[in-house]
Structure 1
Amino acid sequence: MDKNTQIELEAAAFRQLVSHLQKHTEVQNIELMILADFCRNCLAKWYVAAAAERGIDMDYEQAREVIYGMPYNEWKDKFQSEATVEQLAAYERKQQSKS
């Protein structure tokens, strides 16, 4: 496979992942962090870093809007629920296991 085809496939997979996360708003970021060690905010940070590597000026909030499909505060108001005690404990255990 040539490099351009690989990049196109990776980009398509990334777009599908973002679309999937936008459709599944019931999946909370803390759940993603517990299970996969990344969340929508991580994707936004990686997006900003990729832009910076290419000399493209983009801030974190702009990247979040790309990933969330709307301004982050709007998404948070509509879809984010308060983390449960169990979720917070699982997240803390995950963080401790990484040390």
Structure 2
Amino acid sequence: MTDLAAITQKIASAVGENSGLGKRIKLDFGDDGKILIDAANVPNVVSNDDGPADTTVVVSLDNLIALKQGQLDPMMAFMSGKLKVLGDMGIAQKLIPLLKG
């Protein structure tokens, strides 16, 4: 699972129709693209659109994969600048289980 389409599909499956997040979250991979999770409405929608979000997580695709595989600790990634959160940190923390799934 190394390309954006596969990651988007996996996240969409993990989010389902109602993730309970209640917000819009964007994963920003820079030049590799974006994933927008619109969990403000039910059913939740996951797309590769770029739009406004309550929280944006900026991370490289390689680091996202390392997080998913347990090779990179989310807190260490944040503290070392490999992962940046713009907006509500609480929402970003709720997203972690969905990314690991």
TM-score normalised by the chain length of structure 2? 0.24
For the pair shown, which has the larger CA radius of gyration, 1 or 2?
1
Structure in which a larger fraction of residues adopt strand? 2
| Greater helix fraction, Structure 1 or Structure 2 | 1
TM-score (ref. length: structure 1) = 0.24
